[in-house]
Structure formats: structure tokens, C-alpha cells
A and B are shown apart, each in its own frame.
Chain A
Amino acid sequence: MDLSYSAESDAFRRDVAAFLKANWDAAAAAAAPDRREREAALRRKAVEHGYLYRGIPRQYGGSEQQPDILKAHIIREEFGKARAPMEIPGVGVQMVVPTLLECGSQWQRDFFVARTLNGEFRWAQGYSEPDAGSDLASVRTSAELVDGHWVINGQKTWSSLAHKAHYMFALVRTDRTARKHAGLSYLLLDLKQPGVTIRPLKQITGDAEFCEVFFDNVRTPQDWIVGAPGEGWAVSKTTLSHERSGFIGSAATSVALFGKLVELARHTMLNGRPAIEDPLVRERLGVLDGYVSAHQYSSYRQFSMAAHGQDAGIAPLMNKLVNTRIADDVAAIARDLIGSSLMLAPPLAGGRGAGNEKWVNQFMGSLGLAIAGGTSNIQRNLIAERGLGLPRDPSNADSAVVNA
């Protein structure tokens, strides 16, 4: 057990830090009107240096580095410290790009990957439907091949930011005679065309991030299919694994959130004293601190195992549930600390939250976390069946897990 880094790693860390010091000023960028351009410029330079899009070949706009989980970890830490932008967030980079690199055709990679990486193309996910959330294999949106085009009819839902996206990757039924997931295909389609109706769903916070998307004879060319017809299920599984390992598993979010809660407890007065001095508040924070530290050390261990090519076992299956639990517990303590502010409407995304009512968003967001990317009960099924080896529920044998 050694929590230090090798001299080689330390040198690499110094290089990354020096690069950021020379090329990025977070405070200046935050206020600048050309923030987006600055971020794009930094990303371009970071790719040149091999810091971003490391797993992606140069011809598609990546930096094509040897896989090195330790370097990736150091880059994340240093970029985090410098509050520098990393890869463009979202399903395009997290899900579409890896899927196309693994299962896409040559022209699809040439056309889509680089422009997704630089933010020119934005994507929406087209997996869930009103009757196919956790049970994804029962999607009903259909596509039929007519004169060299797939003609799509049906409805998708929970498509995050579809109203701001250019393209969608969708799981659709192309063979009604085949059994459940055997008849599914993975199609890419242009959202900016007649027949596509996008209706943002106002969510519990008042924001509208996800949308319903309706298809009325919407067309996409025959070769915009990823993989062969009927292989959609397998192709979508590729993306799912990227989703889970990518943006849900990290302990950093929980650690940062807990730090903010401790700050809130320091600055909130309770009976004329800072709340953090109250024994009950301290005990509740202490209980949560145990979970947060456990999660952090578990992530060290998972990271170390991955870096040494070992299977991390059951722990990675638990990350999402652990993050959800921590967010829920933070919300529970925060709501008692903010008191009457719980009765105020939270600031909308992009708006300015003046005071404690911004914790109302954390409160509701913690609920969103329990649902998005597979509800907590679906996560429990996964842990029980894949992790603990308990038998599958027969009613549930064809199910998969998605929401986004």
C-alpha cells in the first residue's frame, strides 16, 4: 500500500501543472465574453499535448495516447485544481464517440467524431420511451427501410437537452417479428428536419433539461445505422458501459458536495451559534463523513486495481448507489440547516441563486440522481444479481437499465 506517486508520475504532474499555468486563467476566463473560444483553444492545445481525448486516434481529433489510468487520473486532478475545462461534457463525447469508434463505419467516424469532440455537433439520447424506461428491450419506436432511408415513427422521452441538440442516437425497432431485443437497431438521425417535434419537459426543479421527442415519418439514410440491423441491443450496451464508468462513478463529486455542506453548517446559525457546533449536527455530519471517506478510499482502491489490470469486482457496481445515498443524506442535513429557505423556489439553471435556496436545487437534484442512469432499485437489482450472484427475477430477464 503506497499512496505516493512515482518520480515519473510527479514529473508528469509538474508538466500538466506548468501547461495549465501557461495556458489557462480560470478567473479571467469566467468573466470573459469569449469564454467559449478560450475553452476551445485550451482544448486544442491540451489535445496537442496529449492531455485530452487520449484514447481517440489523431485522425479523429484525439491525442492517441497509450492507455494509462494513472496519467488520466493526474490530468483530472490537475485540470480540476486549475478549474480548466476538460473533455466536452455530455452524451456525444461520453456515449456516441466510443460507440462509433467501436461499432461505427468508417464514414460515420470520419464525419461525426471530430466534430462531436470539438462541440460542433451536439447529441441527444434516444433510448427511453414512456413504456420503456428500465425495461429498454420493449421500445416501440419503429423504423422501416423505404427507398434507401429508414422511416421512423414513434416517441422517445427523457432525452436530455434534445432541444439544443443537432443529432440523436436512438434505439428503434426494425423487426417486429423478432423477439424483444433481437429486433432492435441503433440509428443516428438528424433532429433538424420536418416530422421531428421536440417538447421540453419542465422538470421538478422548474428547469427543462430533458425532452419528449416525437417522430412522424422522420427519415435517416440507410447507412446511418450503427452496426447491422437487429444488433442495436449489443451496440447500445457498448455505450452503456461508457456511461457508467464515465460520469457516474467518481467519488470526487461526493467529496466536494460534502465539503460544501460542512461550509453551510459553519455559516448557518443555530440557537445563536454556528450550526456546526451543535452536537446533533456534528453527529449527523460525522455519520455522513464516514460514508464519504469510505467512498473516497473505495475509489482509490478501484482506481489502483484498474491501474494494475485487476478486476475491481463488485465495488464499481455500487458507485452510483453510494453517490446517490450521499447526495440524499447531504440533502437531508442541508434542508434542516437552511430551514425556511426550503419554502423558496430554487434559482433556475443559469440564473443567480442569491442565498440558501440554491440548496433546494441540491435537494431536488439528489432525487434526480436516484432516477437518472438507472433508478436506485434497478441498481440494487444489478448489485444483487451481477455482484452477489442472486437469481434473476424471471419477469425481468430481458430488462436493461437506462434513463438519461
Chain B
Amino acid sequence: MNFLLSPEQIEIQTAVARYLDAECPSTRLHELFDAPDGRADPRLWRGLLDLGVAGLALPEAYGGMGLELVDLALVAETLGSRAAPTPFLGHVIAALAISLAGSEAQKQRWLPGLADGSITATVALAEDGAAWQPEQWRVAAASALTGHKSFVTHAAQADLIVVGLEGGRFGIVRAGADGLSITPQDGIDRTRPCAVLAFDRTPAELLEGGADAAARLCDAALVLAAADAFGGASRCVEMAVDYAKLRRQFGVVIGQFQALKHQLADMATDIEPARGLYWYAAHAWDRLPEQASRSAAQAKAHLADRYLHVARRTVEAHGGIGYTWEFDVQIYLKRAMFDYAWLGVPALHRSRAAALAGW
């Protein structure tokens, strides 16, 4: 039994953290957050691609590093902890979809470019707002697509879009395809801008795999969202603690007041022991398939729920400054709101987890 990260995993996480600290400090984060077109910074994304993040969990035969979902989730945690505005989430999920459901020829065709980032991708799952589950996808699986998808992250800069279709199939749509229109949504989390996609007899390349691949893909996406939430929540606790050590009132630092201390202790106790939820879920996805769906649902529900709670408490702990646009925590709060609802709210996944536990 060794429920620990390997030195290599720690190295990957440290490298990403160091890169983000250098290239995406708070000032830059705010610039990107406030950018009018909500596009991810291509330079920041390029730097992450050079660290290999896009190909981490893709097979070596297709230009990836052949690592596991755990490794990808560790990167997601680090991006979450810096609220980094990058197309990571949609890109790696789209690539995983092709890796899981594509034919040999499709993998050879698409994965190397996705692994090195010469192609940017995103994934289109939700229909009609809350229809996130593969069973709810209604766009017909055919060589030309008609219908809508919403909450598609970074759609405007994607070269290709992996679209969830009826029966849990996937189709690939190229940027600029006939009948594809992309309408930006006024999303709350500007680090992950969303769009509604409309397809009108839009040409698509169907991936070979079906419902099993879709279920597995959704589990992986839940794990990555859970990891992002853990990273963001941990950073919120750090921000609140740092502020409590700095801010003086009534002649002392406010962190000396027991009432605030207890709030901070409760926030930390909500988050720190929950790290293992996404670790375990990622590990289960790779190694314990019979537990993968339940663990993923549980991890996403719990961590997204706690992230939003802690982000809220972090605003409170900062008083007035926490309620300003200039201060970082608003970005985290909005990212927490995205993580909470993306792929479905906690209640949905708790209900799934209960059913999977046989309750």
C-alpha cells in the first residue's frame, strides 16, 4: 500500500506550478480575466504544452507520454490552484475521447497533433443547459450533425471539437465547418469562456466507440474537475490564512482572534483531508475499473461542493477587499461556480454515487 505520489509525479506538478508562478502571476491573471474576447493566452498555453501537459495521459505510440489519469489530474489541480486561464480542460478531454473511442486510423491521425498542441481541441457535451449525461445527448450520430451544444469551453480557439452524440457516440467537427456557428455565452468564469454551438448539417467524423467509451470519458472529466476544485479550494484556504497573518485590526493581526482562527481551521479541515478523493478516483479510473464511476462521481460532488463553500468563506474572511473585482478571490469564486455546475451539480453525482453503491 503506497497512497503517495511518485517523485516523477511531484516533479511534473512542481514544474507546472513553477511555470505558472512565473508566467501567470496575479497581475497577468487579472489581465487575462478582463480581456474582452475571453481567449486564453496563447503564450501561456504554449508554455504548458512545452512542458508536455497535453500528451501526459496519451499513449506513447501517438506521441504521448503514456502516463495515467492521476498524472493529468495533478496538472489539473495545479492549474486550478492558480486559476490558470488555459484550454487545458476541454483539450485533454477531447484528446482522451479520441484515445478511448477512436479507431486506430483516427488515433494516428489526431492524437500526435493533440499531444504536442499543434492542434487545439475542445469538447462539447451539454445540451439544453443541464443535459450533461451521455444518455441525455440527442444530437444524432451521423456524418452531418444538426442541433445544439452549450457550455463549450474555449470553442472559438479550438481547431477541432469533439461532440457528444446520441447513444454515447462522439463526432469530430473541424473549426469553420459548414453550418457550425459559435455564439459566446456570458460565462461567469472568464478563465474558461463558454459558447453555444449550433450545428446545421455540419460535417462530422464519427469516432468508432460507443456508450462505454462515453461513460469512461465522463468519469475522467469528473476527476479532472474534482482535481481543479481541490487545487482552487486549497489556494483559497492559503489566501485566507495569509491575509489573516497580515491584516491588523484593534492593534493585532486578525489571525490572532479565535473566532477567525476557528473559521480558518474549519476551512482547512474541509479541504486538506479531501485531497485523496480525487487521487483515489483517478487511481480507480486507471486501475480499479469497477470503482471508477462511483469514485469519480463522489470526488466531483464533494470537492466541487466544498470548493464553492470555501471560496465563499474566503471572500468573507477578507472583508470588504474580498468583495472587490481587483482582488484574486473573485476569480476563484467564479471558477468554483463553474466547477460546481460543470458536468452536473453535486446532487446529481451524489445520486449517481448512491445508485452505484447499491443503496
Contact = CB atoms under 8 A, between A and B. Distances in A.
Interface of A: 1-5, 9, 70, 73, 262, 265-266, 276, 279, 282-283, 285-287, 289-291, 293-298, 300-301, 303-305, 307-308, 310, 314-315, 318, 321-322, 325, 377, 379-381, 383-385, 387-394
B253 interface: yes
Q: How large is the interface on B (under 10, 10 to 19, 20 to 34, 35 or more residues)?
A: 35 or more
Given A279-B351, A318-B272, A390-B241, A290 B298 contact: yes
Given A70-B1, A301-B4, A304-B4, A314 B264 contact: no
Nearest to B253: A391
Contacts, number: 160
Interface string B267-284: 011001111110110010
Please give me the 9 A-B residue pairs with the lowest Cβ-Cβ distance, nearest first. A297-B276, A286-B350, A290-B302, A298-B273, A384-B261, A300-B3, A380-B265, A383-B265, A294-B274
Interface of B: 1-6, 9, 70, 241, 244-245, 252-253, 255-256, 258, 261-262, 264-266, 268-269, 272-277, 279-280, 283, 287-288, 295, 298, 301-302, 305, 347, 350-351, 353-354, 357, 359
B268 A301 contact: no
A383 B268 contact: yes
Contact of A286 (B241, B272, B351): B351
Nearest to A251: B273
Contacts of A297: 3, 275-277, 279-280
B1 A303 contact: yes
A317 to B, nearest CB: 9
Nearest to A69: B1
Nearest to B240: A388
A315 B287 CA distance: 26
Contact of A384 (B4, B262, B277, B353): B262
Given A3-B283, A290-B298, A321-B269, A300 B276 contact: yes
Mostly helix, strand, loop or mixed at chain A's interface?
helix
Contacts of B274: 290, 294, 298
A308 B10 CA distance: 16
13 contacts: A70-B1, A289-B354, A289-B357, A293-B280, A301-B275, A308-B2, A314-B268, A321-B269, A381-B262, A383-B269, A384-B264, A385-B261, A393-B261
A383 B256 CA distance: 13
Given A4-B1, A390-B241, A294 B276 contact: yes
Given A293-B280, A388-B265, A390-B245, A301 B351 contact: no
A234 B288 CA distance: 47
Contact of B256 (A265, A291, A393): A393
A387 B5 CA distance: 22
Contacts of B357: 289
Contacts of A2: 1-2
A291 B302 contact: yes
Nearest to A318: B269
Contacts of B273: 294-295, 298, 315, 318, 322
A381 B269 CA distance: 12
Nearest to A396: B258
A294 B3 CA distance: 13
A291, A296, A388 — most chain B CB neighbours (10 Å) = A388
Contacts of A391: 245, 252-253, 255-256
Nearest to B284: A3
Contacts of A265: 359
B283 A1 contact: yes
A1 B5 contact: yes
Contacts of B279: 1, 297, 301
B3 A3 contact: yes
